[in-house]
Amino acid sequence: MNQPVTVLDHLVVVHLDIAIWTARKKLAATDLGGATLPPEDLASLGSKRICNPDDLRAFGTLKARAISLLDRNGIRFLNGWAIPKTRMDAISIELAAIRDEFIQAKEDFLQRYDQSVQEWIAQHPQWSGIIAGSTVSEDYVRSRIGFRWQMFQIQQPTQGTLHDDLDTEVSGLGSTLFDEVAKSAAEAWHRCYSGKTEITRKALSPLKGIYDKLMGLTFVEPRVAPVAELLHTAFASIPKRGAINGGILVMLQGLVSLLQNPQALLEHGQKILEGRVQTQDVLAALVLPDTADISDLPEAEEDVPQFDDAILAPVIESHGLW
């Protein structure tokens, strides 16, 4: 059995299917009272809202939560997410909870749909005719709002073009994972680390999220495990309590900068795999690149607040691939 097939054996693909009614309809020329308009090959009319968009905001928020959940645990793959099998039970429970909130928000909105339209008309009395003449039924709105997901496993064709195409997609999972890590690290840098001389432990949360994602997907690429180990060693070097500053903060800032560079991550992961560099040496170099001394880093604590015990005793899953 070749490598991509084995990787697929440990992944479930999740496709998220969330529909949100936009409350928009195409603006017609008659809505503008006979105004002279340019020809259609030059310009086209936009759209009109028939109820307050704020009343639909909850659906976008819940959709974003579902996407964030899958992004934190999986890799974008085949118009969905490749999720490790070991996490699917927990993810299904969380998705179901978000879906239940979505359905409740849908029922709440539908109960006051007519009222929402009337309030919108009242806010725009000059255009009441345009709005009133464009409303749709409650049943129509109901059919345009929904929350579903599908889970399936991919089976590799034995030969042919489809086999080669899927091999290419699966072989790229590691690169996609490091690209997604880089994006998360960039967001963490701008939000928590850029220009800071002191941070609270709350700033560690984005790194914890990256670590959890890597730990769930160590089997997709050999160099993922060394990067996860790098984060684990960094966490173990952080004092148990108090603000984070000085050399430890500089080390974390260097680590976040490293995580933003997918190619550098691959190179460091390869060096650690081959034994050419130790994890602790990499972290020390992030503090003082030219004169690093690993003795400058504190010894690992027995516990790190706000992190699970598993962080201090990671089990790197390769499922026999590496």
What are the pLDDT digits (tens) for 196-237?
999 999 999 999 999 999 999 999 888 999 999 999 999 988
| 237: CB partners within 8 A, 6+ apart | 248, 251, 283, 297, 298, 300
pLDDT at 42: 63
pLDDT tens digits, residue range 137-192?
999 999 999 999 999 988 776 666 666 678 788 888 989 999 999 999 999 999 99
Beta carbons of 252 and 244 less than 8 angstroms apart: yes
Q: Is 5 helix (H, G, I), strand (E, B) or coil?
A: helix
Query: In angstroms, rounded to a whole number, what is the distance separating the alpha carbons of residues 35 and 275?
Result: 74
Residue 70 has pLDDT above 70, yes or no: yes
pLDDT at 322 over 80: no
pLDDT at residue 292 greater than cutoff 80: no
Average pLDDT, integer, range 297-319: 43
Joined together, the tokens standing for residue 167 give 């091999």
Separation CA 68–CA 27 (nearest Å): 34
Per-residue pLDDT averaged across 58-81, rounded? 96
Output the pTM of the full model: 0.81
